[in-house]
Amino acid sequence: MANYSGAVKTVKGGYHFRITLVKIFVYIVCIFLTIIAIAPFIIMLFNASKDRLEIQKANLNWAPEITNKTIASLLPSKSFIANGKYLLTSKALGLPFGRGFLNSFIIAAGATILSVYFSALTAYGFTVYRFKLNKLLYGFIMLIQMVPTQVTVISFVEMMYKWNLTNNYIPFIVPAIAAPGTVFFLRQYMASALSLEMVEAGRIDGSSEFGIFNRLVLPILKPGMATMAIFAMVTNWNNYLLPSILLDDLDMSTIPVLVGKLNGNKYSTEYGAVYWGLSLTAVPLIVFYLALSKYIIAGVALGGVKE
Amino acid sequence: MASTKRKRAKLEKNHWGYIFIAPFFLTYLIFQVVPLVDTFRYALTNAKAWYTDPSQNFDFVGLDQFKVILEDTYFRDAMYNTPVMWLMGFIPQLGMALLLAAWFTNEKIRVKGQGFFKVVFYMPNIMTATTVGVLFLAFIRPNGFIHNFAVSIGYLKSSRMPFTSEWFGRGIVAFIQWWMWYGQTMIVLIAGILGINPSFFEAASIDGASGFQTFRKITLPLIKPIMTYTLVTSLIGGFQMFDVPNMFAIGNNSAAFGPHVTTIVIYIKKIAYTGTTSVGKACAASVFLFAVTAAIALFLFWIMRDKDEAKAKKAAKKRAKEQAALEGGNI
């Protein structure tokens, strides 16, 4: 960067110098934001390997001068396995995280499969058939995307109590059939990816209407459905409010519900165990995210250009 | 155009449309419409939670529940906290996202490693909100690193005293909302800016417009629809804020913030399933949430609308109609 300082004298050089300054500033901001985005997770992982005293003592190391002790208090330590054992198996503190992963997976996978398949079915119905209420009903789907879902939470819970569906997977999986946002996305996707001539050709070959959809159309929609599946998976995995009311049996609880319990009184001094539990739930998601980040970022960009 | 026979076949096939969309509407009816109607119905009664009163002997009380919640200071706190915390997070979220989007799409700056930065900035958004909430709670509790920092700079007197300032509580919730969402908004805005016809920018450059002028006069007006969309979806989400503030509002460790970070949904859940389990009151609050969100969303759409856009929409509709007619002819 130093070579540029000599060029300030000429007009063109001044311009380049200014751009370089802006560039440096941009990179400083970006690196700062990168640290803010990542640091909480690093601290979480490192603290998961410390015992209670080590975390407590880190307290005193914010002194202005950096000593060996400061550095040692930032790095991981050796209580990782002990903390894990404590959280998973101890009678007083143990939470069934293994079972929680299974529950979360069943709910998220079930809801994802239903929402993606039936959304494709619905979008196909609107795209291919010209029935009387087509426009009106599609307009209705656009409108209900805006309805705040939490408004109906209490009545939904009351209904589930009446139907005796507490501590059950059904309230989290079956309603996923009606996913207005996914229908909207797949309808847009079909407009560009699906040719109606192909549907016509399928009919001439004598396929049934469902046969055409399942065998000819679904394979074409795969990329769009995969994008929606990733987001459905994450949303359903992270869902908290409804499970926190309807799943009061620990063995039926999902990961967010179990993590919420780490906020309770009996964990108030078990710092290491709390960080360990948080890491346990964060790491699989981070791995999932990094593996699919290309598709996720592209999906976010697509989702925004809805207008 | 076609024979009567073919026309009839077309008609018969088109009935399949109803069969294809039936599962969606049936599910929506049972799991969304029925509870929505129930919400309005319960709001006019003194119903209690089903598990405390399985016989469901409740009376119609008219608008009494609305009067009760409007006099409830706890509900008033929630009505204040929710929009305040949303705004405290949303303004810097949109500002940061706009700034980054302007930089990342600027030809002259040409930021390298954009793919990396996008992945990193979006990462917090994918995390379980409860995990994030408990994590930051652990940071601000005595012995957490933010707490320790506050002690070392003398903001807090003792290493055992928790944070108690109500604005610190709202601030940390707003910070987390910002932290989780600015990356998402940035990606959406970048996509919007990249969708602008490049000839606009070329014309501006030929006219000698500065980078800032181009941004203000060309980029901003053209991404206004996307910003409206972001604003409205964020507002609807913001009024339903629950997972993160809930971690700071419940539990003994954080009781210091209790009423100061309570949101409307936290209030609804608490009123329905603790104490007297008043489902009637909770549903009245839900109706209130519904009305307020709808009113503000409509108001935002109305002030952000512009005439050119309305005209463009009309034209687009006409085009869509023509295309539909064309497609209809094909099938």
DSSP string over B142-168? TTSHHHHHHHHTTSSS-TTPPP--HHH
In a domain, B4, yes or no: no
Least confident stretch, A154-163, B83-92, B228-237: B228-237
In a domain, B54, yes or no: yes
- Chain A residues touching B225 at Cβ < 8 A: 307
How far apart are the C-alpha atoms of B289 and B239, rounded to whole Å? 8
CA atoms within 13 A on the CB side of B301: 13
| Residues belonging to chain A | 307
Greatest mean pLDDT among A212-221, A268-277, B292-301 = A212-221
CB atoms A278 and B34 under 8 Å: no
Name the closest residue on chain A to residue B175, using Cα atoms. A36
pLDDT tens string B267-277: 999 999 988 88
CB atoms A118 and B23 under 8 Å: yes
DSSP conformation letters of A116-132 = HHHHHHHHHHHHH---T
ipTM: 0.88
CA angle A52, A54, A57 (to 5 degrees): 110
Q: Which residue has the higher pLDDT, B87 or B296?
A: B87
- Chain A residues touching B330 at Cβ < 8 A: 196-197, 200
In a domain, B272, yes or no: yes
How far apart are the C-alpha atoms of A153 and A145, rounded to whole Å? 16
In terms of phi and psi (left: phi > 0; alpha: psi -120 to 50; beta: otherwise), the region of B110 is left
Residue B321 has pLDDT above 90, yes or no: no
CB atoms A263 and B247 under 8 Å: yes
Give the count of beta carbons closer than 10 Å to the beta carbon of residue B252.
Answer: 10
How far apart are the C-alpha atoms of B257 and B277, rounded to whole Å? 23
> Which among A155, A164, A246, A262 is the top mutation candidate for probing chain B, defined by the most B β-carbons within 10 Å of its own β-carbon?
A155
Alpha-helical (H) ranges within chain B are 4-14, 16-28, 34-42, 64-71, 73-104, 114-126, 129-140, 145-152, 166-194, 198-206, 211-214, 220-222, 224-239, 243-249, 264-273, 279-304, 307-330
Least confident stretch, A76-90, A176-190, B41-55, B313-327: B313-327
CB atoms A153 and B38 under 8 Å: no
- Chain B residues touching A37 at Cβ < 8 A: 120-121, 123-124, 179, 183
Q: Which amino acid is at B188?
A: V
According to the model, what pLDDT value does residue B308 have? 64
Touching check for A148 and chain B: CB below 8 Å? Answer: yes
- The predicted model gives A168-172 an average pLDDT of 95
Q: Fill in the DSSP letter of residue B45.
A: B
Q: Which amino acid is at B81?
A: N
pLDDT tens string A216-269: 999 999 999 999 999 999 999 999 999 999 998 999 999 999 999 888 777 777
How far apart are the C-alpha atoms of B297 and A145, rounded to whole Å? 13
Domains of chain A: 2-81 (no CATH), 96-261 (1.10.3720.10)
- Chain B residues touching A121 at Cβ < 8 A: 20-21, 23-24
In a domain, B1, yes or no: no
In a domain, B260, yes or no: yes
CATH number at residue B101: 1.10.3720.10
Residue ranges making up the domain that contains B136: 43-300
Give the closest of A22, A58, A149 to B109, CB-based. A22
How far apart are the C-alpha atoms of B174 and B180, rounded to whole Å? 10
pLDDT tens string B87-145: 999 999 999 999 999 999 988 888 999 999 999 999 999 999 999 999 999 888 887 88
In a domain, B31, yes or no: no
For chain B, how many structural domains are there in total? Answer: 1
- Those of residues 246-265 in A touching chain B at CB distance below 8 A are 255-257, 259-260, 262-265
Q: Minimal Cα–Cα distance from A33 to chain B, Å?
A: 7
According to the model, what pLDDT value does residue A105 have? 97
Name the closest residue on chain B to residue A183, using Cα atoms. B24
In a domain, B241, yes or no: yes
Q: Under a CB-based contact definition with an 8 Å cutoff, are residues B275 and B97 in contact?
A: no
Least confident stretch, A138-152, B49-63, B296-310: B296-310
Q: Which residues contact A295 (CB under 8 A, 6 or more apart)?
A: A226, A227, A230
CB atoms B39 and A56 under 8 Å: no
Name the closest residue on chain B to residue A283, using Cα atoms. B127
Touching check for A189 and chain B: CB below 8 Å? Answer: no
In a domain, B230, yes or no: yes
Give the closest of B34, B120, B143 to A38, CB-based. B120
Residue A14 has pLDDT above 50, yes or no: yes
- The predicted model gives A172-183 an average pLDDT of 95
How far apart are the C-alpha atoms of A65 and A45, rounded to whole Å? 25
Average pLDDT, whole number, for chain A?
86
pLDDT tens string A58-110: 655 555 555 566 566 667 777 788 888 878 877 777 889 999 999 999 999 99
According to the model, what pLDDT value does residue B330 have? 47
